[in-house]
Structure 1
Amino acid sequence: MTTDIDTASAPAPGTPGTARRGGGGALRRYLTALRTPRGAIGAVLLGLLVLLSVLAPVLFPGGYDAQSGNSLAGASARHWMGTDELGRDVLVRTVYGLRTDLSLLLTAVPASAVIGTLMGLAGVISRWLGSGVQRLLDVILGFPGMVLGMCVVLVIGTGWRALFTAILIIGLPLFGRQARAGLQVEQEREYVLAARVLGVRRRTVLVRHVLPNIVDPIIVNAAVYMVVAIFIEAGLSIVGLGIQPPIPSLGAMLNTGARYIEVHPAYVMGPGLVLLLLTLSFTLLSNALNKAVLRR
């Protein structure tokens, strides 16, 4: 399983534009993306998955660790996906596993985007600082995603916090390099040069002119990295370095279910299908956002 970050689908920084893009214009572009077939399907699919994970305690008040005396049972009216090796409902644990995965994705990826973008814009403060930060990002980028994730987990220890840190660190080069490239392009724009001539402060130029023009590719890259983060969690959990029992995650369930696939295929099919749907939703959203940004 590879977790290398592919930025080919992301828009190039500094897409032609001569003035600051207003927040309303950006919002309209994103709403337009959601009205396309891919965007609508991705948004609805992701919304349903998020809603299901949020309502998990209401739908399954018994929790994810409730056991019964019937282990590795097949599908029935009581257990739609059967039970696991400890008699726990596979469907319930799959929904709670989705809840765990979404809690990681919706916190670690935005944190990585914000920190990575700030690191990429460090050159505004000092050219030497910007160059130093980029060398650090190059070092991070030199490690394959899974290898770096394993190193982080081995240092911090297994669990949610380790996965959060691994996803955050692995994504920093994606956002940092994108932000720096956008900064370098925007700094050569006529309106930025004019603002400097007029004595406008660097921070004002950054906030009013540079950031609004590089936010679109950052948003698209965040959607792309959501897919990568899914595979980071699944990959580390499959090799036993992710979420630890009894807390469920989709990757951890695939790891355990693989041992019983011959006698209980639903044990793997349930979490595998949810993982596929989650990946599909973010892929469709990233494609729709990318097309909307390129047409601005």
Structure 2
Amino acid sequence: MRSAFAVCLVFAGCCSNVIFLELLVRQHPGCGNIVTFAQFLFIAVEGFLFEVDLGRKRPAIPIRYYIVMVTMFFTVSVVNNYALNLNIAMPLHMIFRSGSLIANMILGIIILKKRYSVFKYASIALVSVGIFTCTFMSAKQVTSETSVRENDGFQAFAWWLLGIGALTFALLTSARMGIFQETLYKQFGKHPKEALFYNHALPLPGFIFLASDIYNHAVLFNKSELYPVPVLGVTMPIMWFYLLMNVITQYVCIRGVFILTTECTSLTVTLMVTLRKFVSLIFSIWYFQNPFTPWHWLGTLFVFLGTLLYSEVWNHLGATRLMPPKEDKKN
């Protein structure tokens, strides 16, 4: 039951979060730092009040482990958001991050010495082909469009390539963090609310290094047009409204993900998040009219089929719960 509830939180929160993120980056592509800071601050304050009892509750998992975890978590969040400022379109951003299924399995084999069924390897192959196709076609799109508009296609491609490198780094770091969480829960028990708080509270001092960028975007947000907030009957700059909604939906999303990490394996969580990303992707293309060629759709189809193949293996094995039987075996 908790797993089903967590899945609902993930799909509702994460899909709506992507909408408000795209509304933000369409106006100010470099606003990733202020978005990340607002998300971390909101979740940290909520956890300080309701989870750690104003700091009086001792953590069940030693702080030193949380420091390692939050270093990875902070890095992934900042790098992923900053990649949007490097010629990375939102659809490609979502597609590329769906490669976490591949990264998680590769690191599981290397670090945890896991072995998987032929069906899982086949599903990962499909996902890999799909991501490569979308990435390759996006590269051609970047160079062709910018060469006509600005006559600097090579420079635009270089920035795009840097963005792909940033996404790759974040992808591997995120997968490593998932495996690290899984091993911690086995050793100290499951504490999703506590992990949610420390993962967002401990990195807050790191935003000091991004303070000037955050301040500059706050000034830009203040200058945006006024928007009458429904129900509340107040008006506020529309960019601040988008940010507020992004923060709230991010909290719902991340809360669901952290519950899932206590109910399922790291690979299962990755699968659920991957499916959520493709629901968001389809809506983003339809609602925002993002450019998407038939080759992009083919790549998306490969990724989606690979993910479905992974789930169909569970159904073939007779799984009736959300969490699959632990068929993965160590050497």
Alignment TM-score, normalising by the size of structure 1? 0.32
Answer 1 or 2: which has greater helix percent. 2
- The higher-RCO structure (CA 8 Å, 6+ apart) is 2
- Which of these two proteins has the greater Rg computed from alpha carbons? 1
Alignment TM-score, normalising by the size of structure 2? 0.29
